[in-house]
Amino acid sequence: MQLPVTPAADWITSRAALEQWLAALPADAALDLDTEFMRRNTFYPQLALLQLGWDKRYALVDPLAFEIGDALRPLLGNGQSLTVMHSGSEDLEALAPLLPGGPARLFDTQIAAAFVGMGLGISYRALVAELVGAELDKGETRSDWMQRPLTDSQRAYATLDVVYLEPVHEQLAARLEQRGRTAWHAEDCERLKRRACVREGDPQPQENFRGAAEWHPAQQARLRRILLWRDVTARQQDRPRPWLLEDAQAMNLAQLPPQTAGELDERTRGQRALRSPQRAELFALLQQPVTEPDIAATAPIPGTPQGEAKKALAAMKDAVDRTAQEMDLPPGLLCPRKVLETYVVTRDWPEFLEGWRREHLHDRLTGLLPG
């Protein structure tokens, strides 16, 4: 295993310099891209560094020095260009304020690796070792990327994160073509892009709280009301949701609303972002009665499959495993277990299984639904 030599990278701190660097790229360039961001004390990821690579030219762009979005959008938003990333969901989220719709075309190397038989969720380091034979140092993974100036070690680490995207992309694209899965990969990359770039909250966040599946509909509606308030407030304050309310606290308040403001204070003591104005808002919210329209607007929380549904889930899981083996795909890529659990309870065909997955799974799974 060879140790990589870090090539030189331009340090870019102005729009003019970034535009000049990008001007050398053709309209159909495959641009290698990575980011460094921080998300310790905020709701939204804080973009700290943008790494770019093309044709053995590299740039480290400082988004703290200038507004980089205007310079990026003409190329990345161009339908002819391709943006190459590895496991890009969080990077796309960090870039969303600058590229609201994401790059026009995305090639995610982690997704591609899963389609060509290299396993689900392979790390960039493992992928580079396997395809290029280079060993990457991950010593700066938890660095403070907001500090300036960056250390030489940080710059080298950040540069190497895009140096090998080009050969990795080339090999994976060839393997996808050989297996006839280029279109499937592109479809999953579009799905990833849409999910990562959504800036609005989940309108039915209570669906993820399966521990409340057996609650009375009014309690589920109150839980939804609390979770929606938490999400909106966290976004407004740019603070992590648990700083306002932990999940367990949200469930407790939904089941047993406090009778007084003092009781709410006692039950939420120690929450860092729950200041007096937010406590007053939350208390007022909890005092509002749950109405029939509230209940009607609340999607029922899917429970854990029981009885015949549990047997059907096992049969579906076997069907997915057999299909995945026939297709030489990881079962989790074809259909995660959580998707099956929701389907067998709700009986609503999952959006996740639309597209190329529907052709291979629809008839097999629908026939296994409990009567």
CA atoms within 13 A of residue 174's CA, in its CB half-sphere: 6
Spacing of C-alpha 309 from chain mean position: 30
**109 and 93 assigned to the same domain:** yes
Using DSSP's 3-state secondary structure scheme, residue 120 falls into: coil
**100 and 228 assigned to the same domain:** no
**How do residues 348-371 score in pLDDT, each as one tens digit?**
999 999 999 999 999 999 999 997
**How do residues 106-151 score in pLDDT, each as one tens digit?**
999 999 999 999 999 999 999 999 999 999 987 767 789 999 999 9
**61 and 22 assigned to the same domain:** yes
**53 and 150 assigned to the same domain:** yes
- Report the CATH number at residue 66: 3.30.420.10
pTM assigned to the model: 0.93
Which residue among 139, 170, 197 closes a domain?
A: 197
**59 and 110 assigned to the same domain:** yes
Domain that includes residue 79, residue range: 10-197
Please choose, from the candidates 196, 200, 235, the residue with its C-alpha nearest in 3D space to the C-alpha of residue 88.
Answer: 196
Residue 302 DSSP label:
P
Cis peptide before 149 (omega within 30 of 0): yes
Mean pLDDT of 45-69: 97
Which residue among 180, 197, 214 closes a domain?
A: 197
Above 70 in pLDDT, residue 2? no
pLDDT for 205 equals: 97
**113 and 143 assigned to the same domain:** yes
Instruction: Return the ∠ at Cα 357 (arms to 353 and 363), rounded to 5°.
Output: 85
pLDDT for 3 equals: 58
Q: What is the count of structural domains for the chain?
A: 3
**Using 50, 70 and 90 to split pLDDT, how confident is the model at 5?**
confident
pLDDT for 197 equals: 82
pLDDT for 65 equals: 97
